[in-house]
A and B are shown apart, each in its own frame.
Chain A
Amino acid sequence: GAVVSQHPSRVICKSGTSVKIECRSLDFQATTMFWYRQFPKQSLMLMATSNEGSKATYEQGVEKDKFLINHASLTLSTLTVTSAHPEDSSFYICSARDLSGRTTTYNEQFFGPGTRLTVL
């Protein structure tokens, strides 16, 4: 199957700083990527849909000025958590869809390994 990577895998930062998380599709082009957040012992919550070359679509309740998403190429989307606070500490996961049909039969999302963010 298709491979999606995330960097960094783990980050610790001070309150008030900004953190950038990268999501890359390694062997396919992804016109659409998704960002999720997962708190301990909870399910994944969709934050936003990222489309290459256009603005991201945010889910209700997700602050677009706080979680900046850029999808400048077909293999890279970035999520920047601006002015991070302890309540932003979470597991952030991205996924990507391969529309070429080469690695998927129909619309599966391929997930990255996740990034553990801890804000002190």
Chain B
Amino acid sequence: DAKTTQPPSMDCAEGRAANLPCNHSTISGNEYVYWYRQIHSQGPQYIIHGLKNNETNEMASLIITEDRKSSTLILPHATLRDTAVYYCIVRVPTTGNQFYFGTGTSLTVIP
């Protein structure tokens, strides 16, 4: 079962930063937080992941709170192509390292 909760939808103005929150209050010490996004009728695309420290790559930044109970994905300059459903996933470190997707946040970037 998914261990994350996210707001169902958000809007963001084009060119502004999009901040997408995620709660994972039951996360364990060795569980990573992953972010993926899915554009309509396509497979999910990897964005970023982290364990404790904040992370940044060419797509986004990931801010994880010190207690690790929540995180925020930041798209620094949102474009219309960033309109998608964003999923925050806590990877369960079982033998298979499965992903259990939550409901995600539908982000709409407005011109």
B-chain residues with CB within 8 Å of residue A32 when the two chains form the complex: 96-97
Residue in B42, B46, B87 whose beta carbon sits within 8 Å of that of A43 in the complex: B87
Complex contacts, A109 vs chain B, CB 8 Å: 46, 99
One of B14-22, B62-70, B101-109 at the interface: B101-109
CB pair B101 A45 closer than 8 Å: yes
B53 interface residue, CB < 8 Å from A?
A: no
Give A83 Cβ to nearest chain B Cβ, in Å: 26
Given the complex of chains A and B, what is the CA–CA distance between A40 and B49 in angstroms? 27
- What is the bound-complex CA distance between A113 and B41, given in angstroms? 8
**Majority DSSP secondary structure for residues of B touching A:** loop
Nearest-CB residue, chain A, relative to B96? A49
Minimum Cβ distance to chain A for residue B41 (Å): 7
- Which listed residue (A1, A46, A111) contacts B98, Cβ 8 A? A46
Please tell me if the beta carbons of A106 and B43 are within 8 angstroms of each other in the complex.
Answer: no
Interface residues on A, range: 20 to 34
Q: Mark A25-36, 1 if CB is under 8 A from B, else 0.
A: 000000010101
List the count of A-B residue pairs having beta carbons below 8 Å apart: 57
Q: Do A111 and B91 form a contact, CB below 8 Å, given A34-B99, A57-B96?
A: no
The answer to whether the Cβ of A116 comes within 8 Å of any Cβ in the partner chain is yes
Residue of A1, A6, A57, A111 near B44 (CB, 8 A) is A111
How far is it, in angstroms, between the C-alpha of A1 and the C-alpha of B97 when the chains are bound? 19
Contacts of A116 in B (CB 8 A): 41
Within 8 A of B (CB), among A51-96: 51, 57, 91, 93, 95
A3 to B40, CA, bound (A): 19
By beta carbon, the residue of chain B nearest A104 is B46
In the complex, residue of chain B having the shortest beta-carbon distance to the beta carbon of A1: B46
- Contact digits for B28-71, partner A, Cβ 8 Å, 1 yes 0 no: 00001010101001111110010000000000000000000000
CB distance from B72 to the nearest CB of A (A): 20
A16-50 to B contact mask, C-beta < 8 Å, 1/0: 00000000000000001010100000011110010
Asked if B99 contacts A112 (CB within 8 A), the reply is no
Q: How far is the CA of A42 from the CA of B34 in the complex (A)?
A: 19
Minimal Cβ-Cβ distance residue in A for B2: A43
Sort A-B residue pairs by CB-CB distance and give the 3 closest, nearest first: A111-B43, A49-B96, A44-B101
